Amino acid sequence: MAHSHEDHSGHDHVWAPDLTKNQGLVLGTLAHSEAPLSAYDILDRLRGDGLKAPLQVYRALDKLVERGLAHRLESLNAFVACADEHCHRKGMIAFAICESCGKVDEFADTVIEERLGDWALAKGFKVARTTMEMRGQCAACIARAS
């Protein structure tokens, strides 16, 4: 799985009742993917479900990201379903991306958030967006290699 959750089938996000059909399809696709997906990967997988235009996927992704149900990984230009139903209430999220298997773990850390916030405040820097992505190998891949 692409996330720390073992099974997304019972995940609240996927079945959030107020999602549009397209949002539900896109989130479901992300939730069941082993690795992050680009908008075009998502479109490829959903052609059979009636999605034809990249714009439909981008619109759905925008909403899902805005609500914290999915995240955009800047360094990969790809998306993952949120692995933690409360993460969007915790503020800043950091990602650990395995370059071998594609697994993405996410965590929220208030200490990092405070540090960066303090720095920005001290410098008078107006933050629009912060991304934290670690690239490397997950524990499972390291264990498999040794």
Per CB under 5 A, the list member of 35, 96, 101, 112 interacting with Zn ion is 101
> Amino acid letter at 100?
S
Does position 16 bind Zn ion by CB under 5 A? Answer: no
In angstroms, the CA 17 to CA 19 distance is 6
Binding-site string for Zn ion from residue 44 to residue 83, where x marks contact by CB under 5 A and - marks none: --------------------------------------x-
Sign, CA torsion 76/80/134/67: positive
Whether 37 contacts 78, CB under 8 Å: yes
User: Among 6-14, 16-24, 43-51, 136-144, which window interacts with Zn ion (CB under 5 A)?
Assistant: 136-144
Q: Which member of 1, 35, 65, 87 binds Zn ion (CB under 5 A)?
A: 87
Going by their DSSP bridges, the two strands 104-108 and 70-73 should be labelled as: unpaired
Amino acid (one-letter) located at 72: R
In the complex, the residues that contact Zn ion under the rule CB under 5 A are 82, 84, 87, 98, 100-101, 103, 106, 138, 141
